Amino acid sequence: MRDRRPAIMIAVLWVLAAPCSSAGEQAAPMFSLSGFGTLGVVHSSEQRADFGSSIFVPKGAGHTRQWSPEVDSRLGAQVIGNFTSRFSATVQVIAEQRHDGKYLPHAEWANIKYQVTPEFSVRFGRTALASFLVSDFRKVAYANPWVRPPGEVYRLVPVFSSDGLDANYKSQLGDFAHTLQGSYGQTDATYPNGARAKGRNQWVISDTVEYGPGTLRVAYQEAHVSIDTLHALFNTFRQFGVQGIALADRYDTNDKKVTFIGVGGMYDPGDWFVMAEWGNVNFRSVIGERTAWYVGGGYRIRTLTPYLTYARTKADSNTSDPGLTLVGLPPQLAGPAAGLNAALNGILGALPVQQAIATGGRWDFMKNVALKLQYDRIDLGAGSAGVLGNVQPGFQPGGTVHLLSATIDFVW
């Protein structure tokens, strides 16, 4: 069934917020409307796999189309309603490629905010996960120097928002500004093959420290994740007795605790900037454990900003397993067991291992509009497809992929 929670949340926002005004407060709601978007195209040299925007989309550049507009193109709009001095609501809607290849708009954010004190606020609804340095505007490409955030790091946590509660506390300690943020909720996602991923008991805590032109963010995230089709696979493993049960207990994706820790920093005095992030995610299942990082910077020359980024991601868990022992199995079971082993190793071997250099430039050729050109050289790890998806027969892992991207980013 279609997920109806975003629509329900939006309705709740209006019901809760509309009657909030009282004597001495603003009587009529005041709304502000803003928007953002990207028109982009990406070319990939790899014709037997796709470079896509995430693991949850079916199409990208390479096999599906050598020149693809699906990777980066999106359109978003945001409405903020300031109902009283304490109550406000935010709804952000984005149209971009979905798991089914369609571009139907979806609610990226839909929340109501209560400002308890000037320093402390709480929100209910759908909010951004504060996992990374640019989490709050990772889809507003105009706000970022690159065409897209380095996927080596930002794909460690492939979901962007959470349905639940979050709280913000801001404080000033001398010249240091702190923003402590915590959230608790849940999230759902659908893969192109129809598999469903569910994150429950999901919580994030992050601390952002600003000092002059410097920013540092540290985040810790935890959730219990289930992926239905993989759970069904490991239930089949359990039918092979003690050995199958042991493998299923180790690799099953049903209600497994996933942890993420990330550290990111930026220094931007105006004429130039440097940025770096590091992250580690451990799924405690067949999806494994990964570590990634990037470092980059750029220099602003009037309206031009050339930049350079280097990024790496690696697997910290095993990428293969002997699986079920076939020796001694009757012929009617040896074939299915071999198939299960192949499926297990296919998933383990899909852990992305790669390094990439991205170089490009941004030209702010008119107000609120920027043109970006970017070249990526991606060197895949031995036996790995890296972050590529939609892998086709004949694909050779461990090679080099060349990407060329062009986008026009805008805000209004």
Mean per-residue pLDDT of the chain: 93
Of 34, 56, 151, nearest to 102 by C-alpha is: 56
pLDDT at 354 over 80: yes
Residue 92 resides in a domain: no
- Other beta carbons within 10 Å of 397: 17
Higher pLDDT, 137 or 263: 263
The CATH number given to whatever domain includes residue 156 is 2.40.160
Residue 164 resides in a domain: yes
How far is residue 129 from each of residues 52, 134, 158, 224, measured CA to CA in Å? 21, 10, 11, 15
CA distance 21 to 28: 8
Instruction: Please list the helix, strand and coil fractions of the chain in percent, rounded to the nearest 5, in that order.
Output: 15, 50, 35
| Run of H or E residues at 143 | none
CA distance 366 to 348: 47
CA distance 235 to 238: 5
Query: Cα-flanking dihedrals φ and ψ of residue 168, to 5°?
Result: -125, 135
Q: What are 306-345's pLDDT values in tens digits?
A: 999 999 999 999 999 999 999 989 999 999 999 999 999 9
Range list of β-strands (E), 116-252: 120-128, 161-173, 176-190, 196-211, 214-227
Higher pLDDT, 346 or 22: 346
Please give the torsion angle defined by the CA atoms of residues 242, 244, 246 and 250, in that order, rounded to the nearest 10 degrees.
-170
Residue 78 resides in a domain: no
pLDDT at 24 over 80: no
Residue 288 resides in a domain: yes
- The per-residue b/e assignment along 163-195, b for 16 or more CB within 10 angstroms, e otherwise, is bbbbebbeeeeeeeeebebbbebebebebbeeb
The residue range of the domain holding 320 is 36-72+127-411
- pLDDT classification of 16: cutoffs 50, 70, 90: very low
Q: What are 139-151's pLDDT values in tens digits?
A: 999 999 999 999 9
Contacts of 361 (CB under 8 A, 6+ apart): 304, 305, 306, 307, 372, 373, 374
Of 350, 355, 378, nearest to 293 by C-alpha is: 355
Cβ atoms of 49 and 406 within 8 Å: the answer is no
Dihedral class, residue 26 (left if φ above 0, else alpha if ψ from -120 to 50, else beta)? beta
Report pLDDT for 40.
97
Residue 11 resides in a domain: no
Dihedral class, residue 9 (left if φ above 0, else alpha if ψ from -120 to 50, else beta)? alpha
Report pLDDT for 4.
52
Contacts of 180 (CB under 8 A, 6+ apart): 168, 169, 170, 171, 205, 206, 207
Residue 109 resides in a domain: no
| Span 7-22, average pLDDT | 45
CA distance 159 to 126: 12
CA 131 to chain centre: 9
- Cross-strand bridge partners of residue 236: none
pLDDT at 7 over 60: no
* % of the chain beyond a pLDDT of 70: 93
| Run of H or E residues at 272 | strand 272-282
Residue 192 resides in a domain: yes
Residue with tokens 């951004």: 128
Q: Structurally, how many domains does the chain consist of?
A: 1
Residue 403 resides in a domain: yes
Please give the torsion angle defined by the CA atoms of residues 377, 151, 211 and 82, in that order, rounded to the nearest 10 degrees.
140
Extract the tokens encoding 70: 């699906």
Report pLDDT for 29.
63
Q: What is the 3-state secondary structure (H, E, C) of 117-132?
A: CCCEEEEEEEEECCCC
